[in-house]
Amino acid sequence: MAEAWNGTEGVADTGYSAGVQNLNIFYDTGNMTFITMCSVLVLLMIPGVGFFYSGLARRKSALELLLMSLLCSSVVFFQWYFWGYSLTFSRTGNAFLGDLTMFGFINTVAAPSTGSADLPDILFALYQGMFAGITPVLAIGAIVDRGRIVPALVFTFIWTTIVYDPIAYWTWNGNGWLFALGSLDFAGGGPVHIASGTCALAYSLMLGKRTGYATNRGLPYRPHNVTNVVLGTVFLWVGWFGFNGGSALGMNIRAILACYNTNLAAAVAGLVWVLLDLRLDRKWSTIGFCSGAISGLVAITPAAGFVAPWGALVIGVVGGAACNLATKLKFLIGVDDALDIFAVHGVGGIVGNLLTGLFATSWVWDLDGLGPYPPLGWVDRNYVQLGYQLAGTCAAFAWSFVLTCLILFLLNLVPGLSLRASAEMEEIGMDDYQLGEFAYDYVEVTRHVSDLSDSSVGSTSEAATTTTEKRTETTVV
């Protein structure tokens, strides 16, 4: 059993105000080990997003998306150290945003964190920094086939500071207005998924449609590497155990139940999505199952530590179906959201946030051993909770969409930071234009099937195999 903290409280310091040499006596080693492992699992999700998006993209833009997952997260890890953690989790601040009392991790080592008195500041900062790191990575897939890297990286630093940090502060910091209101968000339905999904929608809108985009069905390209999509899905699914399980901030029964709920919702949503596609296309879709599993993981995120397993089952079914239908939204509103980031993360986050208001129950929260807690959702007859969830959902959506559009508009006016590549560069491909490297070692005979003569098509099967850039789309998710 750890000792009770006997140092300065309410003021950021290194922890040595406790007046003892061994500060580890104030923390449980098991909890620290668990959260450290969860931090590593969330880090695994970052390349998982890269593989997932890369597989969905065209071959000539595949490597850019893999690289962007690493570049963007690295920018955020610096931002988090620089001032992001302080703005989000400082001990003092108003209802809207924290201050800079922990700027550059000043006095951020071993004192109890604001998130949990059972964790030292440095460990909580590590764990929450992974959340901050993956959020813009989820959104940045919007640049596929047409966005430039340098403006995207500048945008990532600004967006994390102006959009992610405030929303996370409102949601998880005890001084935040959504926290004080009573809005529930276990692991990031608002700060992570609604914010990133809405950001991707706004980024796609501000970039404009890809060259050759057809208003009726989108570009005629299928995902170029389904194996990469499966690999990315597995990375994400495994990492999500740390994402949701670790959000209990300790090794307790609530953390275990959150992991179970996460797995159940993902499995059910994957089945729902693939069956909906089977009903229309009469074919089993690997891409459909992977997209469905991700939508279930997204939808259960705000609810994982608040609902019983039967609630997770319902959330998985509704989340998978809603996100599947939402993939048609881009055609209705005319926005080229090529990877359906808004449909999966934006809509999935909204569904999860709202259903948390229905199915959250206090007995699940009590499993962390720190209760008892008051009634939560409709199942506890706390009917006002849905209103609190709606407030959190609308706030995250509006703040992310409006600020993303404004940031991108201003960036595009800065010389050298134009958001979009030229049509000629789109034709060459982002990998060739911006990286000079390729996802695969191959010799390109010609770029389009239409460039092959009839005789060469008949006599050179290898050429036909290596030039299948333009194909009929079935579903792009």
Q: Would you say residue 471 has pLDDT above 70?
A: no
321 C-beta neighbours (distance < 10 Å), count: 18
Instruction: Compute the distance between CA of residue 344 and CA of residue 327 in angstroms, rounded to an integer.
Output: 8
Judge whether residue 81 has pLDDT over 90: yes
Q: Please tell me the predicted confidence (pLDDT) of residue 219.
A: 54
Residue 53 has pLDDT above 90, yes or no: yes
Residues 6+ apart with CB under 8 A from 446: 452, 463, 467
Q: Is 340 left (phi over 0), alpha (psi -120 to 50) or beta?
A: left
DSSP lists the bridge partners of residue 147 as 420
> Percent of the chain having pLDDT more than 70?
91
Cross-strand pairs, 108 = 13
Q: Identify the pLDDT of residue 14.
A: 85
* pLDDT above 60 (res 453): no
CA angle 386/195/383 to nearest 5° reads: 5
Please give the average per-residue pLDDT across 58-80, as a whole number.
95
Residue with the bigger pLDDT between 270 and 92: it is: 270
Each residue's pLDDT tens digit, 302-350: 999 999 999 999 999 999 999 999 999 998 998 989 899 999 999 999 9
Q: What pLDDT is recorded for position 459?
A: 42
Domains of the chain: 29-429 (1.10.3430.10)
Q: Express each pLDDT in 14-47 by its tens digit.
A: 888 888 888 899 999 999 999 999 999 999 999 9
pLDDT band at 450 (very low <50, low <70, confident <90, very high): low
Q: How far apart are CA 438 and CA 433, in angstroms?
A: 10
Mean pLDDT along residues 163-187: 96
Cα-based distances in Å from 192 to 97, 129, 258, 451 = 17, 12, 17, 44
pLDDT band at 455 (very low <50, low <70, confident <90, very high): very low
What's the whole-number mean pLDDT along residues 359-379?
Answer: 94
pTM value is 0.90
Cα dihedral: 361, 364, 365, 368 (round 10) = 170
Looking at every residue in the chain, the average pLDDT score rounds to 90
**Cα of 329 vs its chain's centroid, Å:** 20
% residues pLDDT > 90 (the chain): 74
